[in-house]
Structure 1
């Protein structure tokens, strides 16, 4: 199977599940986000996991062709950069995260963007080929 399809099939449903979870359990996710935006082992581990996942994607899929596959590459780089920031510059990463998740509306917007991206990747990964 093509790596792009494999990664789309992996990331797409995961993003959809996270988005549904966020929308259905908004209050709980807001609490988890607030808890996760404090310096400590949870923040460090999230950076480490993001860095590892991002590097795996970038090393397997560093394609800059101007079609849907570039989304996977960009996600890999964003995960890598986000992981590095959480490990090396945690105060800046906490500030950025606090700005993004500043209220209920922004959490809903992030969930909708995540769900849309997940649905698109799922469609591309699982759509029937001729």
Structure 2
């Protein structure tokens, strides 16, 4: 199994579980996304975790030729950018919680859709890394 398939299998399950979380615990995620009374240390730790996950993906996988490669590399870029913004510009980043596009059902559908798409190619399609 190559790195693209290995990482995409992990990322697809993460997206599916996150989408399920937004669906089943929507009240909790509404509060979380609003960032009311967020602990600065936890925000920084969240930034650090996102940064490390993104950098780890990109250090081991920076491929942009095939759709699954692009999905994995984009996931790494998104994790990295979220981490950087949470560390460097936390106040600005936390203001995005008031965005109406971040309703739990939209987030749930988006995460589940991406998870199913990436998961389909990662688990059920023959993939050769060339």
Q: Shorter-normalised TM-score: what interval? A: 0.7 to 0.9
Partner SS state of residue 49, structure 1 = helix
Change (3 A) 1:79 1:109: same
Displacement over 6 Å in runs of 4+: none
| Contact 1:36–1:43 under 8 Å retained in 2 | no
Deviations along 1:35-75, one digit per CA (max 9) or x if unpaired, are 47735111111100000000000111111114232011111
Structure 1 equivalent of residue 111 of structure 2? 114
What is the root-mean-square deviation in Å for CA atoms of aligned residues?
Answer: 2.1
Runs (5+) with no aligned partner, structure 1: none
Runs (5+) with no aligned partner, structure 2: none
| Contact 1:36–1:42 under 8 Å retained in 2 | no
Structure 1 equivalent of residue 122 of structure 2? 125
Query: Shift of the alpha carbon at 1:128?
Result: 4.9
TM-score when normalising by structure 2: 0.86
- Alpha-carbon distance in 2 for matches of 1:43, 1:90: 7
Which aligned pairs between 1:1-130 and structure 2 lie closer than 5 A?
A: 1-35=1-35, 38=38, 40-96=40-96, 98-100=97-99, 102=100, 106-129=103-126
| Contact 1:37–1:94 under 8 Å retained in 2 | no
Change (3 A) 1:111 1:5: same
- Alpha-carbon distance in 2 for matches of 1:77, 1:38: 25
- Alpha-carbon distance in 1 for matches of 2:115, 2:37: 24
